[in-house]
Amino acid sequence: MGYELPPLPYAYDALDPYITAKTFEFHHDKHHAAYVTNYNNMIKDTDLADKSIEEVIKATYNDSSKGGIFNNAAQAWNHTFFWNGMKQGGGGAPTGAIAAKIDSDLGGYDKFKEEFKKAAATQFGSGWAWLVLDNGTLKITNSPNAVNPLALGLTPLLTLDVWEHAYYLDYQNKRPDFIDAFINHLINWDFVNENMAAT
C-alpha cells in the first residue's frame, strides 16, 4: 500500500513568525520525507506492504525485530497529524465540542494549557505531547521518540512535536517559547473537533 508524503496543508510561510518557512523546508521536506521513504522501502515486498500505516504502527509496536519499521511508520504518521493540527490564525481558547469536553474532563482551558505545557516541556529528549481520548475521557500525555497514542490503544486528537528539529532554527534551545507559540497561535481546534467527532 505504501504511504505518500502529503503536502503541507498551508503555504510554507503561513505560520510565520511562529514557525518559519525555513523550518518547514527542513522539517517537512527533509525529516518527514525521509521517514516516508524509509518506511516504504522497509515494508516493500513484506507481509506489511498491503496494510494501512495505522495497522503497521499497531502491529510493529514493541516488536524489537521490527523497530525500524515502527519508528519510521510512526514518525511518518505523527508528522502528518502534527501539520494538520495547526493553522494560520489558530490557537487560543477552543471552540465547538472540544471546548465543553476540556471544561468537563480537564477543568477548563487554563488547566489544559498548564498540563499541555508541562507535558511538552518535561518530555526528556525527543518526543511528542498529545491530547488524547482514553475510553472517552480527555487526557494529556507525552511519549518518547516515535511512540504515539495509536500504539498505546488511545485516540489522538492533537500533538506537538518537541524533537529539537521542530523548533531549533526558530527558537534555538527555548522549547518553552515554542510551546507557548503553538498553544497561543497555532492550534487548529477545527481539526481537534473533527478527530473527536470521528470517534
Q: How far apart are CA 161 and CA 91, in angstroms?
A: 16
The closest alpha carbon to 80, from 197, 198, 195, 196, belongs to: 195
Q: 142 and 117 in contact (C-beta within 8 Å)? A: no
Determine if residue 79 is labeled as part of a ligand binding site.
Answer: yes
In terms of Cβ atoms closer than 10 Å to its own Cβ (0-12, 13-18, 19+), residue 63 is: exposed
Determine if residue 165 is labeled as part of a ligand binding site.
Answer: yes
Determine if residue 161 is labeled as part of a ligand binding site.
Answer: yes
The closest alpha carbon to 120, from 168, 170, 159, belongs to: 159
Determine if residue 50 is labeled as part of a ligand binding site.
Answer: no
Q: Which residues pair with 131 in a beta bridge?
A: 140, 158
Cite the annotated binding site for Mn(2+) by residue number.
27, 79, 161, 165
Residue numbering of the annotated binding site: 27, 79, 161, 165
